[in-house]
Amino acid sequence: MPSVLASEAPASRPLTRSDYKTLSLSALGGALEFYDFIIFVFFAAVVGKLFFPADMPEWLRQLQTFGIFAAGYLARPLGGIVMAHFGDLLGRKRMFTLSIFLMAVPTLVMGLLPTYAQIGIWAPLLLLLMRVIQGAAIGGEVPGAWVFVSEHVPARHVGYACGTLTSGLTAGILLGSLMATLINTLFTPAEVLDWAWRVPFLIGGVFGFFAMYLRRWLHETPVFAEMQQRKALAEEVPLKTVLREHRGAVVLSMLLTWVLSAGIVVVILMTPTLLQTVYGFDAATALKANSLAIVLLSIGCVLAGVIADRIGAGRTLLVGGLLLAITSWTFYTSLKAHPDWLFPLYALTGLFVGTIGAVPYVMVKAFPPVVRFSGLSFSYNLAYAIFGGLTPMVVSLLMKWDPLGPAYYVATLCGVAMLIGVYLIAQKR
């Protein structure tokens, strides 16, 4: 009788010390790499002043600066597809290590780049190139990390593994926020503009090389090692198989990524600015509340993964989507009248955004091991490039119609999450 792939075997064993080491190193590496990717946005205003002509209109400077930031998102699909292709053919660990190297180098270089005053037009062009390489790296890192941890643990702990890894990624956003707060507290605006803005990028580069060193201690996943031993690897381009045989899984994964991106982009990345411009909070209070929300989000990701292991992803998304709809709607609609509710409401909303911790659980199970990396990476990165880029614009347009635009957008995506939950329950998943 032919042997069964590790991912399909009965999963009765508990998590071992080796499993916990793999999860810890993977989550830590993911946090440090996501810090490298996100730190740009916290210093966008300073970067815009230094890398574009001094006489450029402010609106154009801001547009071009965020255009360079967005280029990282647009590069994600290409980087993800290429790295996933080789991840399905050559091994998960090799690409897992390569992605962090490709993130560390451009982050370090960004901290060393000459400004527009020194080299003219080459400054923004080099910055753009570094951002594109960062985007390609993160495109391989996130799907690769989910596949890596899910194939290391017993099947009954896949949710916990994916939730823990997702928690690490969100912790990277918190690291970026805390670093930005620290730099702006320790140094004057003139010092930040002169040289201190470089410090977070240089530290990020060092973080990346440290994380790459830590990943030396990780081993190839048992699932890939067994496929390699049995010569059961893909016989053609993995993505070709995905598009021909797994279109339903691609659609499901893209919809789930839309839900994930809405939670992160609107509730976590856009809301601190909204708290200042729409609700009148000062920057320090908005950032403190945001940091608290990210801490609860990280906890929520782990909880969602554990609950998905116990009761299934369908019920987790259905209940989590409903609770997020209630808390986010209350958050956005109540702050005008009750500004003192900011911290508890933002914390609760952040906790239920953690429902996204169940998303990778569904996606890694949607594709067979032989094309899992390619299928997940293609779906996730293509959807994130579309929805991650469009979401801020859609929310901004909604706010012209109604200041509660973010509440409507998040509520709509909660509805999508709940419908997917009902579908998965019907599929007994």
DSSP for 20-40, please give it: HHHHHHHHHHHHHHHHHHHHH
- Of the listed ranges 79-88, 113-122, 160-169, the least confidently predicted one is 79-88
- Residues 6 or more apart in contact with residue 217 via CB below 8 angstroms: 21, 25
Q: In CATH terms, are 17-233 and 235-429 the same topology?
A: yes
User: What per-residue confidence (pLDDT) applies to 214?
Assistant: 79
The mean pLDDT of 25-47, rounded to a whole number, is: 84
For residue 329, report the phi and psi dihedrals to the nearest 5 degrees.
-65, -45
Q: Topology of domain 235-429, per CATH?
A: Growth Hormone; Chain: A; (1.20.1250)
How many other CB atoms are found less than 10 A from the CB of residue 393?
A: 9
For residue 111, report the phi and psi dihedrals to the nearest 5 degrees.
-75, -10
Q: What is the pLDDT of residues 205-231, one digit of tens each?
A: 998 888 888 777 777 666 666 666 665
Residue closest to 165 by CA, chosen among 16, 22, 362: 22
From residue 206, alpha-carbon distances to 66, 106, 113, 185, 200 in Å are 25, 11, 16, 22, 10
Query: Alpha-carbon distance 129 to 42, whole Å?
Result: 19
b vs e for 48-64, b when ≥16 Cβ sit within 10 Å of the residue's Cβ?
A: bbbbbeeeeeeeebeeb
| CA dihedral of 306, 311, 317, 320, whole degrees rounded to 10 | -70
The mean pLDDT of 70-75, rounded to a whole number, is: 80
Dihedral (CA of 396, 399, 404, 409) sign = negative
280/298: higher pLDDT: 298
The mean pLDDT of 399-407, rounded to a whole number, is: 87
Give the DSSP letter string of 178-213.
HHHHHHHHHS-HHHIIIIITHHHHHHHHHHHHHHHH
Burial class from Cβ neighbours inside 10 Å (0-12, 13-18, 19+) for residue 428 reads exposed
* Class level of CATH domain 17-233: mainly alpha
pLDDT interval class at 82 (50, 70, 90): confident
pLDDT interval class at 234 (50, 70, 90): low
- Residues 6 or more apart in contact with residue 342 via CB below 8 angstroms: 275, 281, 285, 289, 335
Domain ranges of the chain: 17-233, 235-429
The mean pLDDT of 415-421, rounded to a whole number, is: 96
The mean pLDDT of 347-366, rounded to a whole number, is: 95
Query: Alpha-carbon distance 230 to 91, whole Å?
Result: 14
User: What per-residue confidence (pLDDT) applies to 58?
Assistant: 76
